[in-house]
Structure 1
Amino acid sequence: MTGRLIYLIGPSGSGKDSLLDAVRETLEGEGCRVARRVITRSAEAKGELAEAVSAEEFARRAERGDFAMSWYANGLSYGIPAVIDDWLAAGDDVLVNGSRGYLPEARRRYPHLLAVLLTVEDAVLRRRLHARGRESAEEIETRLARNAGFADTLLAGENPDLCLLDNSGDLEQTCQRLLQLIEAHRSQAWPDSA
């Protein structure tokens, strides 16, 4: 049996990077790899443990077929290395930091993926975004409104298998809930492919 793709999504500031860093070692010890994204941003930029490349290098890699998935959002290009397909074929589960907008395409490519939406209360998210200092107060409010609309669309759409994971509180509790969620889905039988 092949492994399952675990597709983590959530608004900026919801704590995806912190969660991935916190569970990486535990998951890898249980046969679940955490993919490292390739992003067109400065290597000095703070945030997730990603490989920073120039826009030109990203385009070259995309042309060569180096990405299993890639998308453009918030002025940046994001890619998930094609090696994840080898990991999945070998039976390993793979956790990726995905994009909410790319979810339909990811589902087409990986029909048995486990989609996990990391949520956070607005007041907590607002506080986190202000603490990061990357955006003005007006930009933060615009982002919060956009995030609310996107979450409503995801929850109202054809996403019956979308798992919600609240990260408004203690990160350790969120880590434990994510690990439990992954374990629960490992034991589920996959539907036959059409």
Structure 2
Amino acid sequence: MAGKLFYLMGSSGAGKDSLLKLCLDRLQNQPVLVAHRYITRLPEHEGENHIWLPAGEFRKRRALGLFAMHWSANGYHYGIGCEIDLWLARGHHVLVNGSRAFLAQAQERYGAVLIPVLVKVAPDQLRRRLIDRGRETPDEVENRVARSARFAAGILPGTATVDNSGELEQAYRQLADLLDLPADALAENALSERAANES
């Protein structure tokens, strides 16, 4: 049976990277894989754990058909490797950090296999996170908050939502419910992670 492609979307500051990192830690014994992204942007110390590619190498891989999905945003190129198609065919669920603007193309390619998931954050909480990280000007912060609200208001029917306005653990549990994983397996993984951190 083919797996499902969980296509996570959300504004910068919604916490998608933190949520996916937690999935990597917690779901090691489950048939769920987190796809890394290939990006023409150098990694940041506390940012997404992506694979950096020079622009020329990215274009070469794109021309060779090595990306299942690819898009451009904010002056950078983003790609998801075609290995995810093999993972899906073998029955694994796949989590990807997707682009809101690329959703229609992704749905055209994957059809019912793709489950769109909006990671949403309350406007005040999103504003606070953006201010705290200090990357944007005040005007840029407000533009991001407004854009996030517009997108959330216009999501299509069938889009699942994960509310990450509060504790990350709560958002993780919501996503785990979408993945339809057994509660005892989740508890076991959480205990294993806690034991590893304490050792």
TM-score where L is the length of structure 1: 0.88
Question: Structure 1: where are the runs of 5+ without partners?
Answer: 185-194
Aligned-pair CA distance for 1:58: 1.1
Aligned Cα root-mean-square deviation (Å): 1.4
**Structure 1 residues 1-194: aligned runs within 5 Å:** 1-44=1-44, 46-112=46-112, 113-154=114-155, 159-183=156-180
**Quick one: distance in 1 between partners of 2:170 and 2:74?**
30
Q: Note if contact 1:71-1:78 (Cα within 8 Å) is conserved in structure 2.
A: yes
What does residue 187 of structure 1 align with? none
Aligned length: 180
Letter in 1 for 2:10: G
**Quick one: distance in 1 between partners of 2:174 and 2:149?**
23
What does residue 191 of structure 2 align with? none
**Quick one: distance in 1 between partners of 2:103 and 2:116?**
8
Aligned-pair CA distance for 1:27: 2.8
SS in 1 for 2:3: coil
Letter in 2 for 1:101: A
Q: Which runs of 4+ in 1 moved over 6 A?
A: none
**Quick one: distance in 2 between partners of 1:95 and 1:34?**
5
Letter in 2 for 1:35: A
Q: Note if contact 1:28-1:34 (Cα within 8 Å) is conserved in structure 2.
A: no
Aligned-pair CA distance for 1:45: 6.0
CA-to-partner distance for each residue in 1:65-91, whole Å, 9 max, x for gaps? 110000111221110011000111111
SS in 2 for 1:29: coil
The range that moved more, 45-54 or 68-77, is: 45-54
Question: Structure 2: where are the runs of 5+ without partners?
Answer: 182-199
TM-score where L is the length of structure 2: 0.86
**Quick one: distance in 2 between partners of 1:150 and 1:168?**
16
